[in-house]
Structure formats: structure tokens, C-alpha cells
Structure 1
Amino acid sequence: MKIGIDYYPEQWTPEQWEKDAALMQETGVAVVRMAEFAWSRMEPTEGDYRFEWLDAAIEVFAARNMAIVLCTPTNTPPNWMTTRYPDVLPMDEQRQIIRPGVRGHRCNNSYSLRMLGSKFVEAMSQRYAKHPAVIGWQIDNEMHYQECHCDTCNRAFVAWLQKRYSSLEELNREWGTVVWSGEYSNWSEVTTPLGTSKPMNPSYLLEYKRFCSDSVGYLLGWQLDILRSNCPGQFVTHNMWQYPNSLDYYNLYKELDFVSVDYYPNELYRDYGDRFPRNGALTLDLVRGIKRRNFWVMEQLSGAQGAWMPIQRTPYPGLIRARSWQTIARGADMVVHFRWRSAIVGAEQFWHGLIDHSNVPGRRFREFAELTSEVNRLGELLAGSTIVNQVAILHSHDQHTALSLQPQAEGGIHYIDNLSSMHNVFLKMGVGTDVINWTEELDGYKLVIVPSLFLLNEEAAQRLERFAARGGTVVLTNRTGVKNMRNVCEMLPLPGLLAEAAGVVVSEYDAIGNSEHRIRNAEGQTFAAKQWSDLLELRGAAPIAWYDNDFYEGVPAVTVNKFGEGEVYYIGTWPEPSYFYQLFEGILKEKDLAPKLQLPEGVELSIRSKGKESFLFLINLTNEQQEVALDVPYRSLLTSKRSEQKVMLPAMGVDILTL
């Protein structure tokens, strides 16, 4: 477990490299990542490879015992390439070329990009495959899909569809292209979604989005093949952007060694709470869940952000340290900070690093140095520790995409925001959750939360039924079982394939959006509800909350059904957070999973374990001192002091406790 730095030697003089490397060594930096955007410097003209400057830069840091992570720079095709090989550039839905200007200006399926990129990655990987300081590779940078509509992508899209459908007749039938006279009579008529019309066939649009995601996998895949062949002793990863995201990262990371993420929690997130539903903890739990193992942070917030947006507020004192420890608490084994110093040229001049343009290390740098010292001191003890939870939240990229294509209510039913609001409840309780792909097996969990399975198949339904039948608790929400995996509505009473397990059917629904609605529990307490109202008919389930207004006052809104040895809850509306808190608190007590510590608002708890040792991380993400009462005495790994009854955490304070 170490701390690293993102560094851009191409932007600085060799004399500056020496000064920076000396300060990094003094500070305790262990890893330096470089070369992700330097294609034009390494290949200034086609076939003219110039790695000597990179050799020299690597040696400067390696001489001071720092390990190197190299990047393939395919995110930034150089000007000579886009000028000579225009098929590298993507086309928009009007078939107009998207010109270079920032980065990511490439068609993922471009033949020229693969031809020229393969030659480059081959040359670069062969050069550094056996370098003793180079420990691994990052492919590209923050991959996202480009909705390209060039001839190459049109051909690739048709070929992709032909692998998924046995014939054009099957495609027409499965998509329902008979609507609006959209049937295809020849494969040559099939194109990517051209034009700007919004109400296109939803099956068509979902498949195109899947194709775009797979096209990114294609770009990653041919680079991975080269790196695996030439560099068998070095790891390969990719630095994903935080959620919500356009890519299905579960597929993208299958063959990579581990997941890496770029983590930029806005400084305003320190206030946290329900106003910021997509909190940083969710991002980290999602990342850990992609391969269900520890991960790296390849870019960590180091200063105020500013580039294509106005400059954000500077990180509050302690936030850099607190957020870095937060990533470790939730499974990070390496935290690499972006960036060492603020750039003086280019579009990211005001995306601030640890050292400002003054070139004088200041408050943020001193905080980074404190963090580095702590991690270096505790790294060996924490190394090898992992996170083991008994609560899982199922996440599905397909659900996110499908619900984005067809907003279900005024104001939208935002899949990630809804997932996050449920995740927040466990976060505030201090109960660890794994956020995992909805296709994963559920062994080892006691409670599984399942936000809107808008798309549903037999396999997923049966997996949840087996889990409940064997004693697990499942929580389903509205908009479950609406469609099949082709994005076609099912002719079944909702929640479709899970109706029997839920013990209810939806007789009617009301897309209430933002209108004022209420539900009432058995104790007579009322709670606000929004987005959606499923009117539930009981088919074996017992009601535990009812609608409290509108024409369906008194109709069940939330139910629980005994199913085998377990139970299935169904939530037909979207209640305010206090209702979720009450509901989940009761379920956790029944499952013997109730939290042992009461956390103040804004304090996070996470536990990493190794053998019989457990390390309890407490992170205060507020601007005020917070007190946490302890159930048993703990010893602080940071101060070596024993805490008998309570831990006092200063603003943005951190403590790591062990029995």
C-alpha cells in the first residue's frame, strides 16, 4: 500500500525533473505514472519513434527508488495522424466530422487508429517490457464511448448485430420494427441512429449503446493483446471515470488485472447528505464491486478543479488526506494523486495540482506529505487486507441505460441517484455494502437490495428466488420486470418474472413525478413519496405501508412476502430517506446485522480485515469536530493511543482503530 503521483515530464525541463524527483523522494512518493498524453512527443511523425527523452525521465525517478506506471497514449491521436488519416476522427449523427480540440478525438473502430496505434504500442511495450522500474501499464485514459456514425462504425454495427441475431427477420421481430413502418428488408438498410429525432425505437437505441460500449472494449482489447504478449511480468489496468458512466465496465475489465479509478470528489461533497446523492463512497463501492476485489486510485483530487468549467473551490483543509484515506478504507491499495504541480500551459492550467503555479509547496502539499508519511508507516500492516460485507446492492449498467433512454416520470427516475439514496442509508448507519453486478452470484450475503430491474430475464429472476428461498432477504423496487433484455415490454403483470417471489401484482401505476404524495406505516407515521406509485394487489404478501392520499389512499405501497426460508420486500413508490432508514434498520436487526456504532452525520465507517485482524476506519467529512461513541475499547493506529469510550474526530479528521 503506497502513495503515487501523476507526472508529465514532457511539460517540464530535465532540470525540473531532478528537482521534482528529489522532493518526491523526500516526501515518500513510491509510484510515478507518466506518458498518457505524450504521443506526439514519442512519435512526432509517422514511424519516427523517439523514446530517449522518456528513457531519461524514467531513470531520474527510478534512481530514487520510485516505480513507474506507463500509459498508452491512444486517447490523444497526434495532428499528423488526424490530418493524414481522417478516418481516425469520429462523425456525429449528422455525419459531420468531430474535429480534434480536447482529447478522446478518435473513432474507436477506426482501421487507421488500430494500424498506427498497434505499431506504436508494440514499439513502446517492447522498449520497456524488461525495464526494472516499470511495474505496469495503464491503457488509454478515462475511456468513454464516442457515438460515431462513420462508414466504419456503420459496418461494424451491422456485423455486431449479425452476431446477436440469426437473421434480419429475427431482428425485425425482436425490435418490433413494424411500428412506424420501420421494418428492414436488407442489412444494408441498417445504420447507426442518424439524425436528431428523439423517439427512436428503444430496442434499436439500447443495442446501439451496447455496441458503442463494446467498441471501446475493442480499442482496449487490441492494446491488451500486445501488452500481454510483450510484457508478461507487468500488470495492465485502465483508469475509469467515476459513475454515472456511459460504459459497461463489468465487460471492459474482465481481462485486466485490477480496476483503477480517477476520483474527484468535489469539495462541496464535504457537506454530503441527501443533496448530493452520488457521494464518493458509492463510487468507491461500485469500483470495488466490478471485479469484487481491491483496486487502485490512479488520479486523486489534489487541488481546485478548473478547465472546461469555472474554477471550483479549493479543497478544505484536511479534505485531501481524508478523501485519500476514504479510498483506502473502501478498498484502494494504491492512491496516485493528480497532479504533482499545476500545469502552466494547456487546457488544464487551472486544474490544480499539489504545488501551485508559484512553484512553492504550500498547505495542500504539506497535507499530502502527512498522508504519505502515514500510509508508508502503516502500509505493510494494512497490505493484504480486504473488505467483507453481508449486504449487497445490485447494479446494472443496462438498467441505467434503458431508463435514461425513456424517462419514466416527470423529473425522471434516475437509476444511479435512486441506487445512491438507498446506499446512503447504509452509509449513514455505518453498515458496509458491496455494490456488485446484477449477474453475480449472491453467496455470502444476507441482504440484497435490488433497485429497479427495468429489464429482466429468467436467469436473474431465478437467482434472486434461490437466494430468498435459502434464507436471504431481497428488497425489490418499482419499475421491476417491465421489459425483456431486448428493451421490449413484457405482457405480464408487474413485477413480471418476480411477481410470485414478491407476492404482489401491480394492478395499476401512477407516474407521480414530483407531485406531493404520502405513505403511512403500521404505526401511523407518514412519509413523503415521489416519482412513482404502484397500486399493489396482494398475492400472498403482507402490507407494511399504505398510500395516504389520492384516489388510491389505503392501497398497499410496501409489502413483504415470505418466500422459502427468506423474504422478499417490494417498494411500490419512492419514499423519503427517513422511511428507507427505518425499513432497513428493522431488516438489519432481524438479520443480526445491526450496526454497533452510532455515527454522526457526515462520518463514514469502513472495515478492512486480514486474517483475525480488523481495521476500523472512521472518516469525518464535515467541517466540524465529531464524536463517535465506542462499543468496546480500541487502539488508534495513527496515534497509538487507546480509546475507551469515544473517538474525537476533528474537521476532516481520520482515525484507524484496531482491537
Structure 2
Amino acid sequence: MIDRMQVGVVYYPEQWDSARWEADIKQMREAGVTVVRLAEFAWCRMEPAPEKYTFDWLDEVIGLFAQNDIAVILCTPTNTPPRWLTDQHPDVLPINASGMTTHAGVRGHRCFNSISLKYYAASIINQMAIRYGSHPGVIGWQIDNEFWMLDCHCPRCNTTFRQWLIQKYETVSKLNEAWGTIVWSGEYSDWQQVTVPYGGSRFQNPSYLLDFARFQWDMMELFLTEQINTIRQYSKQQFITHNFHTYPPRLNLHQLGRALDVASFDYYPNTDPHKQTTGPYSGALSLDVTRGIKRKNFYIMEQLSGAPGCWFPSWRAPYPGFIRAFTWQAIAKGADKVLHFRWRSATIGAEQFWQGLIDPSNVPGRRFLEFSQLAQEVNRLSPKLIDTTFQHQVAILMSHENMEAMRIQYQSDGFDYYENIKDYHRILTKLGVGCDVIEVGAPLDQYKLVIVPSLYVVNEETANRLEQFAQAGGTVLLTFRSGVKMENNHHIETMLPGYLQKSSGIYVEEYDAIGQSTQAIRDEDGETYTASIWCDIVSLQGAEAIAWYQDEFYSGTPAITCNRVGKGKVYYVATHPDEAYLRKLITRLAKEQHIKYDANLPDGVQIIERFNESNKYLFIMNLSRVDVTVPLESPGYSLLSAEKREKKIELAPYELDILEIPLSSG
């Protein structure tokens, strides 16, 4: 593995005349490219007929990259099985709940459980690994491309799901109990009656549907690990990754991430000027989520290079500085490699209007020049930044099981688990507070504040861990719809928030799912704010109220509470307050825990800190379309301009700076 930050591109040599390869690669090198991704959609070119392999073209292009000191990441091509495979073995193709087959012609037309797919995938991956597993020009592998939930209902998935359930529950009677199938006369008397959820109604048994999601996560993990095991027979030093995309996914990112050496993400920040008040903050969350998959730095396998299109009407052109700024945002958040999609816009196929760095004319324009500036900067600064780390004191706990369980059963009009996480994360980002987004079961030792939005499905162990964290001096912030379900997706048979009742010091008498309506809340200072989505009506059982509802029949009852637990505190937010109140609440918690924050950051400005033994590196980014002035707490040396920055820094739209500040002064 190359121990440096790298900027590169996604390249499709099979889509271009081979006479262009050498010129393209030389131009990449001159632009500062040090890494490329190849071959994720090239199965038919590598294996044009069953077990007839043609790698000469790939040998040639990898050799050209090696001659130009550009490293290669190879992809396993299983996202696009060739037509000979789907024609001869139609079991490769997924079938949806209505019985319709996903035919070849786009991509992703493969069932993770298909025996034929597994056989031919193992065969070509084995051939690739033999050939390139110790190739000095190949530094890593990407498995498949952009996993998503297929909800496949083919005969093989039906049989495999039943086997998975037999292994989990052993007997039909235990399955009936775990799923509560007595409802609607749904009890099974024989294993053969148990199938995948034909018909696809989202209103089927919620325990059943959650298990079907868990089954798919397990099968995707198996599909992933089988490919990894094949590669590892011949590759010991190359990294293995997968490029997740489009958050929030229905995947269990943490489960799939366990098999990877490093997690990756495909990052396309929105270029629409109307999205600029929210998009940079949503992007910041996506990057923190990706870093949390492995709890370490990650890669970007696809980064915006121009206006996306083809899957939807084309986006707005990226504003000058946009491409550079958002790549630096990804790097600041922990991306050690960033590959831009794509080198040149396609002239053939369905993605012709998803812009690359260079247009089909092959004439470099402003996007290419901006990318070249970026690549040169990263290459120059990599030695200083590559080993820097984060020292975050705040974490948000995120659960894919919670997300799926609440997707299965609506909670209220407008309720969205991930959007609620966004709201809390956005406040932290606006206050300049670094945050890790981690799975519910991750260690909490390094943190002072843990935010746990809507911990809907929860067990006693998790509840005890959060209580112990508070006992030791930490602050836990819980929100409404916590402690509702047990792991089998049954509603808990006690007052909410269930297992969290003791630590929160409250119980929920009833609730009002207000959805898009609003409710007024008043805090201790007599200030009034609005809230929406949900209102838990709580009874104090040791906690004290710090804000109260002002409307409806429960006017005057607690809306936000605080309970002292050992050396720490547990807050319970019984509704979803507006941004003004969330900012005030998070500021209060930061003060109590002596967590540094900046109340004066201009809108659109993000500040990220990274450290080594001697210095703090301060990334200051203006991700907006207006000029800003950012006050500086400590003077620093600009790594980009080689100038000293004293009391403030002025940034034009999408401009940034990186300050080196000795720890003795910062």
C-alpha cells in the first residue's frame, strides 16, 4: 500500500480507442494524477466467452500507468455480468416481489445468491488475482460496485432465506413466536410455507420484514467475503475496499465494512445553488458516516468532476472552486484517496451526460485546470497531512437496524431517521465541533458527549452501556422513539422508553405524532421555539424538565428533560425542536463537558481539525457562494499560500485554507 494521500480518476480504457491510452495517461501524470480505478464494468472484455480470458489489453494499460508512476485500483466486474452469462444462466438475474426479472442492459443485474454467478465470479476473480495479485502497479481492489438492496425473490433466494431462518430459529414454533404470526392468522405449520415476502407489501409482519433485511445483509456480506477470500489467495499486500453510495442506504454499512481493509464512498455534492444552505452539511455527514464504518480514514472512489446527468436531468454546472473545495472537504474529513469520476465524459452509452473532467471534445477547460491545481496541492501537502488524526469528543450513534425497522413501519408524517441525524450533525458542524458517526455497539471511551437519535430497536446490553457511559461522567442525549422495540421487532411490554427508562429518569405516558404540524416549546429562559414530527408526553421519574410544551392538551408538560446519572447526565428530547433550540441545547451540552466550539462561524464555513505529535492542522473551508471572514483563535502558517495568518482569514466563495498551528500555541 502507498502511504500517501492520492488524487486520481476513474478511467475506462475499454471504452476508448487504444491509440488514445498513452496520451491520456501522460496528460493524467502532468495534471498530478497518482491513482486510477479500472475495470468495474469490463467483464465482457476480460471474458468474452465462458472461461476464455483476454487480459492482454488490461496488461497493456496497467503497464502504461506503471511507466507513468500512476497506481492502479482494480475492480471485480460482478456488477455487470456479460450477456453470454445471463443468456446461458438466467438464474443470475434478480426477480422482484411482483415476479418481474431485472434484465441485462443497465447494471446491477445480479442476484447475490445465484449459484451460476458465484461460480463464474469466482472463476474470473481467480484469474485476475493470479495475474495482478502481486503486480507492482496494482495497489488495491474494489469489490463489485455500489451495493444496494436487491430484494430479490428468485427461487434460489427463497430457498436460501428458508435455510437462513431454519439456522436462526431451529423450529417453526420458535419462528412463529419470534415473528408473532398469530396476527392475521399467519402461523406456519411447515417450513415449506415460509417464503420471501411475495407481493412486496410494506405492511406485512414487521418482524418478518426486518429478518428479510437481515438475511439480505448476511448474503451480501457472504458475496463480499467470497470475493475477498479469492483475491487474498494471491494478494497479501494490496488493500480491498468497496464503494458505498447514496446515503442513507438500506445496507448495514458497519456489517459489510468489517470484511474490508478500508471503506470507500462515492461523493457527489449537489451543485444546485438552492442546495448550498444544506448540501455541504449533508455531505459532511456522509463523510463522517463513511469514516465511522471502519472508525478510520477512508477512500473516495468517485468524486464529482462536473454536472451529473443521465439518470436524471443534468445538474447545474459546478461553480468555480466547487470541485476543489469539496475534494478538500473529503480529505479534511479523512479521505486518503480521492478519485474523480470520470477522466473524460462518455461519448457512448447511457452515461454520456455525466460530465467528466474533460468534455468529449477532449479540450481541457476550467474544471480540468481546477482539478490539476487540486492534485498538485494534495501531492505537495501529503507528507504533512497523511499521518494526522482526529481527536473528537462527540459521537452520534447510528443504527441501520433502526433505520430499516422505521422504514418498515411509518412513525409520523415527515419522520425520517436519517434526516433527524442530519439536523443534530448540522448543528455540530455549524459550531465547529468535530463528530464521529459510529455504530451503536462501538466503544465510547474517548467521548464526552454521545447523541443517540431515536434508538428505536434496543436491547438491555446497549441500554446498560449508555447508562455506564453516563455514570462515568459522559453526557447522553436520547430522543423520542427510543426504547420502543426489542430485537425481534416486537413492541416492548413496558412504559417507554423501555430499557432506557432508568437512565433517562422519565417514562412516556402517551405520544402525539404531530407530523408536519408544529408545537411550541418554552425553555428555562422563557424563550419560545417550535417543534414538529413527534411529541412524547412524559412523566418525570427523577429527571427534571428544562423545556415544556406550550400547546395542545399536554401544554405545560416536559418536552426536554435532564437526569443526573452518577457523574454524568442523560438528556431526553421528547420532540424534534427547530434549529435554533437545537443549537442552544448542543451549546449547553458542549459547555457542560468543556468541549470547544465556535459560536461565530459564518454560514457555509466548515472547520475541521487534525493533529500529529507537534501540530494542529486547521482546515477552513467556505462552502458557500458569498465572501466570508473567519476569526482565528490562534495564528497559523498557511500551507496553501505560505503566509502567516493572524487574527482572521478572508475567503471568497469555495475558497479554503489549511493552517499549521504548533500545539504549544493552538
Q: TM-score, length-normalised on structure 2? A: 0.97
1:620 pairs with 2:622: yes
CA contact (8 A) 2:453 2:478 kept: yes
1:233 pairs with 2:237: yes
1:401 pairs with 2:409: no
C-alpha distance in 2, partners of 1:637/1:494? 52
Displacement of 1:95 in angstroms is 2.4
Map 1:449-468 to 2 at 5 A: 449-468=451-470
C-alpha distance in 1, partners of 2:617/2:599? 15
Specify the alignment match of 2:534 in structure 1.
Answer: 532
C-alpha distance in 2, partners of 1:221/1:94? 30
Specify the alignment match of 1:288 in structure 2.
Answer: 291
Q: Which amino acid aligns with 2:362?
A: N
C-alpha distance in 2, partners of 1:183/1:309? 44
Determine which of 160, 164, 177 is the counterpart of 1:160. 164
Specify the alignment match of 2:173 in structure 1.
Answer: 169
Q: Which amino acid aligns with 1:529?
A: A
C-alpha distance in 2, partners of 1:255/1:95? 32
Aligned length: 657
Give deviations 1:438-467, integer Å, cap 9, x for gaps: 111100100000000110101110110110
Displacement of 1:415 in angstroms is 0.4
Q: Which amino acid aligns with 1:404?
A: R
Determine which of 401, 421, 425 is the counterpart of 2:423. 421
Give deviations 1:530-581, integer Å, cap 9, x for gaps: 1111111000101000001111110111000000110000000111011000
Q: Which amino acid aligns with 1:628?
A: V
Specify the alignment match of 1:193 in structure 2.
Answer: 197
C-alpha distance in 2, partners of 1:320/1:100? 33
C-alpha distance in 1, partners of 2:314/2:485? 43
1:95 pairs with 2:99: yes
Map 1:551-566 to 2 at 5 A: 551-566=553-568
Map 1:224-623 to 2 at 5 A: 224-268=228-272, 271-274=275-278, 279-411=282-414, 413-596=415-598, 598-623=600-625
CA contact (8 A) 1:278 1:416 kept: no
C-alpha distance in 1, partners of 2:548/2:437? 29
C-alpha distance in 1, partners of 2:242/2:493? 41
C-alpha distance in 2, partners of 1:277/1:451? 21
C-alpha distance in 2, partners of 1:264/1:252? 22
C-alpha distance in 1, partners of 2:255/2:281? 23
C-alpha distance in 2, partners of 1:264/1:289? 19
SS at match of 1:17: helix
Q: Which amino acid aligns with 2:494?
A: L
CA contact (8 A) 1:109 1:218 kept: no
Displacement of 1:132 in angstroms is 1.1
Give deviations 1:202-251, integer Å, cap 9, x for gaps: 00001101111222112111101101111112111111113100210111
Determine which of 32, 37, 60 is the counterpart of 1:33. 37
SS at match of 1:409: coil
Give deviations 1:163-203, integer Å, cap 9, x for gaps: 22132111101110000010011111000000143320000
C-alpha distance in 2, partners of 1:222/1:145? 18
Determine which of 608, 632, 635 is the counterpart of 2:634. 632
SS at match of 2:456: coil
C-alpha distance in 2, partners of 1:133/1:541? 61
CA contact (8 A) 2:608 2:620 kept: yes
Q: Which amino acid aligns with 2:401?
A: D
CA contact (8 A) 1:29 1:372 kept: yes
C-alpha distance in 1, partners of 2:190/2:183? 17
SS at match of 2:233: helix
C-alpha distance in 2, partners of 1:191/1:90? 16
Displacement of 1:479 in angstroms is 0.2
Give deviations 1:318-351, integer Å, cap 9, x for gaps: 0100000000110111111110000000110001
C-alpha distance in 2, partners of 1:576/1:133? 52
Specify the alignment match of 1:179 in structure 2.
Answer: 183
Give deviations 1:562-617, integer Å, cap 9, x for gaps: 00110000000111011000011011011111315731000001111112321000
Displacement of 1:94 in angstroms is 2.2
Runs of 5+ unmatched residues, structure 1: none
CA contact (8 A) 2:202 2:408 kept: no
Q: Which amino acid aligns with 1:430?
A: G
Give deviations 1:596-645, integer Å, cap 9, x for gaps: 57310000011111123210001111111111001121111111111111
Determine which of 1, 11, 16 is the counterpart of 2:20. 16
Q: Which amino acid aligns with 1:288?
A: R
Q: Which amino acid aligns with 2:242?
A: H
Q: Which amino acid aligns with 1:205?
A: L
CA contact (8 A) 2:281 2:429 kept: no
Displacement of 1:271 in angstroms is 4.5
CA contact (8 A) 1:277 1:420 kept: no
SS at match of 1:116: helix
C-alpha distance in 2, partners of 1:605/1:14? 44
C-alpha distance in 1, partners of 2:365/2:649? 29
Displacement of 1:270 in angstroms is 7.8
Displacement of 1:130 in angstroms is 2.0
CA contact (8 A) 1:597 1:629 kept: no
1:73 pairs with 2:62: no
Displacement of 1:526 in angstroms is 0.8
Displacement of 1:287 in angstroms is 0.4
SS at match of 1:119: helix
C-alpha distance in 1, partners of 2:637/2:599? 16
Displacement of 1:273 in angstroms is 3.2
Structure 1 residues 409 and 271: CA distance shift in structure 2, 3 A: closer
C-alpha distance in 1, partners of 2:633/2:260? 41
Q: Which amino acid aligns with 2:651?
A: L
Displacement of 1:269 in angstroms is 6.8
Q: Which amino acid aligns with 1:394?
A: L
Identity %: 49
CA contact (8 A) 1:277 1:424 kept: no
C-alpha distance in 2, partners of 1:13/1:385? 42
CA contact (8 A) 1:278 1:417 kept: no
Q: Which piece of structure 1 moves more, 69-78 or 235-244?
A: 235-244
C-alpha distance in 1, partners of 2:615/2:555? 52
C-alpha distance in 1, partners of 2:280/2:28? 36
SS at match of 1:267: coil
Map 1:105-144 to 2 at 5 A: 105-144=109-148
Structure 1 residues 383 and 313: CA distance shift in structure 2, 3 A: same
Q: Which piece of structure 1 moves more, 64-73 or 159-168?
A: 159-168
Runs of 5+ unmatched residues, structure 2: 662-666
Displacement of 1:302 in angstroms is 0.3
C-alpha distance in 1, partners of 2:590/2:638? 28
SS at match of 2:287: helix
Give deviations 1:52-84, integer Å, cap 9, x for gaps: 011111111111111111110000000000000
Structure 1 residues 268 and 366: CA distance shift in structure 2, 3 A: same
CA contact (8 A) 2:280 2:604 kept: no
C-alpha distance in 2, partners of 1:187/1:47? 38
Q: TM-score, length-normalised on structure 1? A: 0.98
Q: Which piece of structure 1 moves more, 593-602 or 529-538?
A: 593-602
Q: Which piece of structure 1 moves more, 396-405 or 593-602?
A: 593-602
Specify the alignment match of 2:215 in structure 1.
Answer: 211
C-alpha distance in 2, partners of 1:50/1:278? 45
Specify the alignment match of 1:57 in structure 2.
Answer: 61
CA RMSD in angstroms, aligned pairs only: 1.2
